[in-house]
Amino acid sequence: MGRIVKTASIIALFGMLPLAVACGGNQEAAPSEPESEPQAAISIVPGFVRRPSEGALSTAAYFTLRSSTGDRLLAASSDAAEVVEIHTMTMKEGVMAMDRLDALILPAGESIALEPGGYHLMMIRPSPDLTTAEEVEVTLDFETAADVTLTLPVRRN
């Protein structure tokens, strides 16, 4: 009978071995997935949209952007205009000229002002409602950060 008890004890011991291994604290941690890049933190100082005169073919939106990590403004849109483009004003041969940009670079930690005579959003073929609107929503599309929709007041200047 002693031999049966001894054999049963050995079988029970080996039967519990997988449980002991599974509960062991000396296992290496499973490799974790690589961390995704942090989203660029964008802050915006609201500005305004210039009120177009009746029948105007364009107007502009102004505000200040800042990215803590660096980013690029790729595009903008608004129900208040058929097309919204990123533009800048530059001096060419003594004459101010407006140029369309594919993107606006936002260096980390720097503020970029969109203002008259410089960078701005050109709102082409504005809605007739914009001549009397109090405010307008503009959505900004960034390379890294999530889209941002801001509400800007409409004013003469």
- Digit-coded pLDDT (tens) for 85-100: 999 999 889 999 999 9
- Digit-coded pLDDT (tens) for 44-88: 999 999 999 989 999 999 999 999 999 999 999 999 999 999 999
Q: How many structural domains compose the chain?
A: 1
Average pLDDT over residues 87-115: 95
> Is position 148 within any domain?
yes
Residue of 77 and 3 predicted with greater confidence: 77
> Is position 30 within any domain?
no
Buried residues in 32-57 as b, exposed as e (16+ CB within 10 A): eeeeeeeebebeeeebbbbbbeeeee
CA angle 57, 86, 61 (to 5 degrees): 60
Amino acid 41: pLDDT: 87
Q: Which amino acid is at 31?
A: P
Helix residue ranges per DSSP H, 23-97:
none
CATH number for 138: 2.60.40.1890
Map residue 143 onto helix, strand or coil: coil
> Is position 66 within any domain?
yes
Spatial distance between the Cα atoms of 151 and 36, rounded to a whole number of angstroms: 30
> Is position 35 within any domain?
no
Q: Is 25 within 8 Å of 10 (Cβ atoms)?
A: no
> Of 26-40, 79-93, 108-122, where does mean pLDDT reach its minimum?
26-40
Is the confidence at residue 18, as pLDDT, over 60?
no
Average pLDDT of the residues of the chain: 83
Average pLDDT over residues 23-50: 65
The residue range of the domain holding 80 is: 42-155
Quick one: CA dihedral 155, 63, 81, 117, positive or negative? Answer: positive
How does residue 31 score in pLDDT terms, banded at 50, 70 and 90?
very low
Residue of 120 and 24 predicted with greater confidence: 120
Spatial distance between the Cα atoms of 139 and 142, rounded to a whole number of angstroms: 10
Average pLDDT over residues 18-45: 55
> Is position 20 within any domain?
no
